[in-house]
Amino acid sequence: MTISLEQVLNGMPEARRRKIELRTAELIAEELNLREMRRLRKLTQARLSKKLKIGQEGVSRIEKRSDLYISTLRGYVEGLGGKLKLVVELPDRPPVILAGFGETGGKKKTRKTAAGSAKLKTKNGRAA
């Protein structure tokens, strides 16, 4: 015989059911999509598009996608005034923040000079 979740919950003490309902609400509140985050920040797609220097349709496309470049997601989150952190959860280990993917500052880029040798360039364009 199959027992429904409702039957299991009804067999629990009232205090336990209430605790489960509160935790359920907390978990649902913690999970937001990009559109919901933008709305929480009271931003329209048009206002966010100006911050991101893209068109409003670009913001719409980002919000509808399920597969994004990390740099696109980072830019979107920073446009909302936030900071992106990637957390890895492994079995039998506490969560770890993945370094090198959420940061924006201090990256160095290599470029070729007219003479063909490689030079390091910092994010602000100065030679390193």
pLDDT tens digit string along 6-16? 899 899 999 99
pLDDT for residue 27: 79
Query: Which of 27-31, 40-44, 103-107, 121-125 has the largest mean confidence?
Result: 40-44
Instruction: Please name the amino acid found at residue 91.
Output: P
CB 121 within 8 A of CB 103: no
Q: Which two tokens stand for residue 75?
A: 């830019």
pLDDT tens digit string along 61-99? 999 998 999 999 999 999 999 999 999 999 999 999 998
Length of the chain measured in residues:
128
From CA 30, how far away is CA 36, in angstroms rounded?
A: 11
Least confident of 5-14, 35-44, 83-92, 109-118: 109-118
Q: Is 33 helix (H, G, I), strand (E, B) or coil?
A: coil
Q: Model-level pTM? A: 0.58
Report the sign of the C-alpha dihedral through residues 45, 50, 56, 59, in that order. negative
